[in-house]
A and B are shown apart, each in its own frame.
Chain A
Amino acid sequence: MNTISNILQLWRFYWRTEKKTYLRIFLICFAIYIVKTAVFDFILMRISSEAYTYSHTALFYQMYSIGTLVLMSYLFDAVHHKQRAISYLSLPASNLEKFLSRFIMGVVGVPILLNVALFAGSIVVTLVLGTMDSLAGNPTSWMRIFDYYSHHPDMAATYDFFGAMPFNRFLTILFWRNMMVLAFFSFFIWFGTAFRRAGWVYAIIVIFVLLALFILVLEIMGILHDPAPRSLRYIWGYGVPLLSILFTYLAYRSFCRAQIVTHKIFTL
């Protein structure tokens, strides 16, 4: 289909114009992982094994998650800067093609990029530690390469589902909490596109407020302390994908209605 070749053409275009940005993101994630491993897993552990807990690792995964979401919100940032907007919006491609090409790039490409950066970091760490171990005469553990997600908070939950094969684990963790993640991704993309500036800040605020309300409601209904009723699971199971579709559509609409100059803070 024509649309597919047009999307490929746009991807080629993004690569040619933005590869420096992609490299920067890769290097930052890579560097953060190296520094985190050096400081927490290495130095801190050697200093005091009580201070070192695996909760640090979990904290970093939360940080990566939020970082990913913030990055997502800048997917259509070109639209908020006049000169880049003129160039991008006048580029001969339909709104749908432009939206889809960047949406797929964000939702698929960013997690892949992140995982590749962490994996590359863990290779470096493994090589360094392995060398140090060899020099000290200790047995080397090359399975350390997979350490970067071994303490991932999802591991325990998905272990029994997908078994112990690294590849299976990798796939699950790649897209983390699958549909729920997509809902979050599309929500942040929507807010990042619709708000002229710092949409992710509004997104985080809204989520916190909604979360607080939700917990309040559950508390009032007394559900919080009982095992979750089946109806809640259905709401969760169907609601989240529907929300993903809704947020994606709203993001698309904001993109279509974007103008190169606007005084509105929020474009619906």
Chain B
Amino acid sequence: MIYQNERAIYVKIADRVCDDILSGKYQEDERVPSVRELAAEYEVNTNTVLRTFDILQRDDIIYQRRGIGVFVSPGARHKIRIARKQEFRKHELPEFLRRLRLLDMTIDDVVKAWKNNKREQ
């Protein structure tokens, strides 16, 4: 069993940028920190951040305006949520179900926990 298949650093930084977009720190059509600023913040090589920007641009989360900077694409928050839902369905959900089975628990246990959690909210 592979415990931690850590994601590449540039992917992790992309996740952080997406977190910041979701939380509203970077609004749509607003400027995102430059490559150098992000490299300094996460203490990584600038080329790493360039790869981050590559995948974010590929997924249309950000867009670049030559000479001005990099901005959050319109609809980015929506795109991020959809992508993360897909991630969850592909990785964490099957893993969660596998562990349920391993611990001899059923979906009813999950529903009960869900209802309790909702009541506390």
Q: Do the two chains touch directly in the complex (Cβ atoms below 8 Å apart)? A: no
